[in-house]
């Protein structure tokens, strides 16, 4: 019997509502497939935890989390209680950084039965690989002078190691998909970092003669997501470009409530973390209408990156059969409640 030890952090807002739904689904997955079991331990790290204890997690929080195979997260942040920069840096970004989760994978695929905002989104299916640790999100820089003379300087940081790592993951994913990697660049405007990024992309492309590769400027590529989504497969981007493109992808998916993501640690020293793309959605908390699919699809990614690709694929097929038959929450234009969608997924897993 294989056991996956999972640290669950429901977090804030709808995170607390959708986490139990995804765990119900995973328990059913284990029951149906046999040979696999989950041990969940829940950690209450959240804005409420901060209000009680003055920190988003205790001193030994990271040590405790590091004992698990994976961290399964709901949503972090509730600006009505704790400023976002404190809650994000105290928990979400802290875990991403300290656990060296340098890659962020964000599939964007239109599930059957869901109405997208895009004119002809049928079979929309892209994966964004986002470099998750450096690039434009560096802390190097500062502000000088005052008043009308004030200047802010922000230095981007691109290391060969982390850039190669993101690109290698992209080519690896493409080899299991349609065999195309598109690199998001802006070497016509960003003179140092982006030509460096392009050179590395070329080098990695040459090592993968069986995979097609291309570079597109970020502005044109964002438009291309809308106009030619079917001509893309795996897209690799820097921290900022990857973030922007995955939100475009989530919009095409019909609702941010369905979009999954994985923060991968690749050196094996720490757990990876799996979290939906959306936030804590304070505007719909307590109404029972949060879409559970983002969290459940994220559970599918947790299975996939813990060596259970077949079980993961089965779960995604079941999720899609449920959306195809119209079991959808209001964010997708449906009339079903969160628990009804989950119940239907669980029912069909057993069939
Ligand atoms: P963050 O800053 O934490 O990334 P945010 O404040 O930008 O998040 P969300 O909390 O993701 O944004 O909410 C954006 C919108 O999407 C809100 O209208 C919210 O209700 C909706 N939303 C988010 N998650 C879900 C969900 N699971 N089901 C339905 N609607 C959702
Ligand atoms: Mg927010």
Q: Which two tokens stand for residue 331?
A: 């964010």
- Measured CA to CA in angstroms, residue 241 lies from 136, 158, 244, 276 at distances of 9, 13, 5, 19
Distance CA 31, CA 47 (A): 34
Q: Nearest residue CA, atom 12 of ligand 1?
A: 279
- State whether the beta carbon of 256 lies less than 6 angstroms from ligand 1: yes
Ligand 1 centre from 261 Cα, in Å?
14
Residues in the chain with pLDDT values less than 50: none
Q: Nearest residue CA, atom 25 of ligand 1?
A: 257
Contact call for residues 215 and 183 (beta carbons, < 8 A)? yes
- State whether the beta carbon of 258 lies less than 6 angstroms from ligand 1: no
pLDDT at 108: 86
For the whole model, what pTM was predicted? 0.85
Ligand 2 centre from 90 Cα, in Å?
15
Q: Nearest residue CA, atom 30 of ligand 1?
A: 257
Contact call for residues 18 and 51 (beta carbons, < 8 A)? no
Please report which ligand is nearest the Cα atom of 14. Answer: 1
pLDDT at 117: 66
Contact call for residues 240 and 213 (beta carbons, < 8 A)? no
* Coil, helix or strand at residue 65: helix
pLDDT at 119: 60
- State whether the beta carbon of 279 lies less than 6 angstroms from ligand 1: yes
Contact call for residues 267 and 161 (beta carbons, < 8 A)? no
Distance CA 108, CA 134 (A): 23
Per-residue exposure over 325-350, b if at least 16 CB sit within 10 Å of its own CB, e if not: eebbbbbbebebbbebbbbbbbebbe
The fold of 116-253 is Isopropylmalate Dehydrogenase (3.40.718)
pLDDT at 351: 80
pLDDT at 190: 86
pLDDT at 269: 95
Please report which ligand is nearest the Cα atom of 281. Answer: 1
Listed residues: CB within 5 A of ion ligand 2: 279
**Among 331, 333, 335, residue to substitute to test ligand 1 (most atoms within 8 Å of Cβ):** 331
Report the DSSP beta bridge partners of residue 103: 131, 264
Q: Which two tokens stand for residue 69?
A: 């195979």
Phi, psi of 73 (to 5 degrees): -115, 145
pLDDT at 123: 82
pLDDT at 42: 98
pLDDT at 333: 94
Please report which ligand is nearest the Cα atom of 278. Answer: 1
Domain extent listing, the chain: 1-100+290-350, 116-253
- Measured CA to CA in angstroms, residue 227 lies from 74, 230, 234, 280 at distances of 32, 9, 16, 31
DSSP-derived secondary structure for 135-202: BT----EEEES-GGG-EEEE--B--HHHHHHHHHHHHHHHHTTTSEEEEEE-TTT-TTHHHHHHHHHH
Half-sphere exposure of residue 270: CA atoms within 13 angstroms, side-chain side: 20
Please report which ligand is nearest the Cα atom of 92. Answer: 1
Q: Give the distance, in angstroms, between the CA of residue 106 and the centroid of all CA atoms in the same chain.
A: 5
């Amino acid at each position: 019997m294989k056991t996956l030890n999972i640290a669950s952090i429901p977090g804030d807002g709808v995170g607390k509502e959708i986490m139990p739904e995804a765990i119900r689904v995973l328990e059913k997955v284990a029951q149906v497939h046999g040979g696999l079991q989950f041990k969940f331990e829940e950690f209450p790290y959240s804005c409420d935890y901060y209000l009680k204890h003055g920190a988003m997690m205790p001193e030994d929080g990271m040590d405790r989390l590091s004992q698990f195979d994976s961290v399964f997260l709901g949503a972090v942040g509730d600006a009505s209680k704790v400023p976002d920069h404190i809650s994000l840096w105290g928990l979400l970004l802290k875990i991403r950084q300290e656990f060296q989760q340098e890659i962020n994978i964000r599939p964007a695929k239109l599930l059957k039965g869901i109405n997208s905002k895009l004119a002809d989104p049928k079979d929309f299916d892209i994966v964004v690989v986002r470099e998750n640790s450096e690039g434009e999100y560096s802390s190097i820089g500062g502000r000088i002078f005052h008043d009308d003379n004030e200047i802010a300087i922000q230095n981007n940081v691109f290391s060969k190691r982390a850039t190669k790592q993101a690109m290698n993951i992209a080519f690896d994913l493409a080899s299991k998909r349609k065999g195309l990697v598109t690199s998001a660049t802006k070497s016509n405007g960003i003179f140092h970092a982006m030509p460096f990024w392009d050179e590395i992309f070329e080098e990695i492309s040459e090592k993968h003669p069986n995979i097609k590769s291309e570079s597109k400027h970020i502005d044109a590529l964002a438009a291309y997501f809308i106009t030619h989504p079917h001509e893309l497969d795996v897209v690799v981007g820097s921290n900022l470009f990857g973030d922007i493109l995955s939100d475009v992808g989530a919009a095409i998916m019909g609702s941010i409530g369905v979009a999954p993501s994985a923060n991968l640690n690749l050196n094996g020293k720490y757990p990876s973390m799996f979290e939906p793309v959306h936030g804590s959605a304070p505007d719909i908390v307590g109404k029972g209408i949060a879409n559970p699919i983002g969290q459940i699809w994220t559970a599918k990614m947790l299975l996939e990156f813990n060596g259970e690709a077949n079980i993961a694929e089965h779960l995604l097929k079941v999720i899609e059969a449920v959306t195809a038959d119209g079991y959808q929450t209001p964010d997708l234009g449906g009339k079903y409640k969160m628990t009804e969608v989950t119940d239907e997924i669980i029912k069909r897993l057993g069939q």
